[in-house]
Amino acid sequence: MTPDAEAPALPEVLARAPRDRPVLIAGPTASGKSALALACARAQGRVIVNADALQVYARWRILTARPSAADEAAVPHLLYGHLGAEAPWSVGHWLRAVAGILARHPGAVIVGGTGLYFTALTEGLSVIPPIPPVVRAAAESARAGGGLAALVAGLDPATAARIDLRNPARVQRAWEVLAATGEGLAAWQARTPPPLVPLHAATALVLEIDPARLGARIAARIAAMVAEGALEEVARALPGWNPALPSARAIGAAEFVAHLRGEADLPATIAGVAAATRSYAKRQRTWARNRLGDWPRHRPQGTDLPPDRPAC
């Protein structure tokens, strides 16, 4: 979407949002969050803040469907593409950055698909000591030797009951916290300080789209990504490619690397990326249902459906 494209109509909850309070827009990938955020920001003179854990990396504009250069020129976009491929980035990094932004822009539009960011923002984040490199190396070694199940087996029961055990990043983080501090992640979270933005102090919205329609939008997004140069973007990252880097977790990165190395043909690769994206969208919907249950919902229909943002 470009600034000249037809903007989606703002849902009532956004149209009447107080200008001095942040707007929070969550939802699954390809649901039209970025287009809606842009429309809100342009109509109300707000800045846009990224709440997606992979759109922070400079190397991935197309692969992560980051806002286009034209959109970024139309409205200030913050925390997009500002990190190198090897830079660490956690919910703690994000929350500290957002605190500084909200001090300058209290009415910012915060948009993204990383649900943990929104729960940390509105419910608080426990302050856990930094993980020593030796512990992180031990976690990587355990995962390489025994897979995700090896890390899951090493979790304390309270934490295992609380986190998504299918999410490798979450499981490894929980394992590292227990190994480094002697206390499980659940115990640390029980001592969570007050939130930066309590839900009552913001205008929040979750976009919900029928899974079948969302699947079609995901397929269209991936086709557009390939047409816009996703393969070339990944090819530029091939020299020195390291799957252990945080930036390598972008959906499609590993799959397109395998294709470029001759390990899979393009149709099979695209199908694999689509399947991984649909699976991710399902996890996002589950998180929204379980952890963002108090947020208002918007279920756009027909022409009210925000356009997706396939690439630059």
CATH fold for the domain made of 133-189 = Histone, subunit A (1.10.20)
Sign of CA dihedral 90, 96, 102, 105: negative
83: DSSP letter: B
Sign of CA dihedral 246, 277, 2, 100: negative
What is the tens place of the pLDDT at every residue in 225-276?
999 999 999 999 999 999 989 999 999 999 999 999 999 999 999 999 999 9
Q: Is 196 helix (H, G, I), strand (E, B) or coil?
A: coil
| CA 55 to the chain's CA centroid | 7
> What pLDDT does residue 310 have?
42
CATH fold for the domain made of 212-281 = Helix Hairpins (1.10.287)
State which residues of the chain have pLDDT below 70. 1-6, 302-305, 309-312
- The correct answer on CATH 3.40.50.300 for the domain covering 12-126+199-209+295-304 is yes
> What pLDDT does residue 312 have?
36
C-alpha separations of 41 from 25, 117, 286, 303 in Å: 12, 20, 27, 20
| CA 84 to the chain's CA centroid | 17
> What pLDDT does residue 128 have?
86
> What pLDDT does residue 3 have?
42
Integer Cα distance of 154 and 156 in angstroms: 7
> What pLDDT does residue 2 have?
44
User: How crowded is residue 230: how many other Cβ atoms within 10 Å of its Cβ?
Assistant: 25
Residues of the chain with CATH 3.40.50.300: 12-126+199-209+295-304
β 23-26/109-111 pair status: parallel
C-alpha separations of 193 from 121, 123, 190, 226, 286 in Å: 11, 9, 9, 44, 25
> What pLDDT does residue 112 have?
97
> What pLDDT does residue 192 have?
87
Following CA atoms 69, 75, 78, 82 in sequence, which dihedral angle do they give, to the nearest 10 degrees?
20
> What pLDDT does residue 129 have?
86
Burial 182-208 (b: 16+ CB within 10 A, else e): eebbbbbbeeeeebbbebeebbbbbbb
> What pLDDT does residue 309 have?
60
Report the predicted TM-score, pTM, of the whole model to 2 decimal places: 0.83
Residues of the chain with CATH 1.10.287.890: 212-281
Asked if 22 contacts 197 with a C-beta cutoff of 8 angstroms, the reply is yes
Residues of the chain with CATH 1.10.20.140: 133-189
200: DSSP letter: G
Q: Where are the beta strands (DSSP E) in 242-307?
A: 297-298
